[in-house]
Amino acid sequence: MMSIDSELEVQFVENPACAKSVRWMVFVDEAIKKWCVGIGGAERKQTFDGKFLIRRLNEGSVAYKLVFCVSGSHSCEDIGKFDAKNGENGKRLILTDKEPYGFVLQRVLESTLS
């Protein structure tokens, strides 16, 4: 069982043809001028070392959020959603201090996985 503030390495099971890496990372997207969460490799110009953590969305809440903490920094930024609404840059996960993307974890019985 995972606990709050456990460090996570988030990655896809299979490597999409469009990316060299399946591991989540944080990079600056120059087109929208925001820190984004994505996958990829060396083609990303400005990436940041750090760790992803799960934290409670609010004190006493049953909902959670993902945060990203830049290595060497004592602060972490929430991960939220961004929609460029222009069709070109699409929807992204970004670092934000305004609206974290909340989610609820559910226990899954092993018998339902097969």
pTM for the full predicted model: 0.78
Q: Max alpha carbon distance in the chain (Å)?
A: 45
C-alpha separations of 104 from 68, 100, 107, 109 in Å? 18, 13, 10, 16
Token representation of residue 89: 């840059």
Asked if the model's pLDDT at residue 94 lies above 80, the reply is yes
**Class level of CATH domain 7-112:** mainly beta
Sheet with strand 25-29: strands edge to edge: 7-8, 50-56, 64-70, 76-83, 91-96, 34-38, 25-29, 47-48
Q: Where are the domains of the chain?
A: 7-112
**Span 78-94, mean pLDDT?**
84
Per residue in 21-52, pLDDT tens? Answer: 788 889 988 888 899 998 876 565 678 889 99
The residue type found at 114 is S
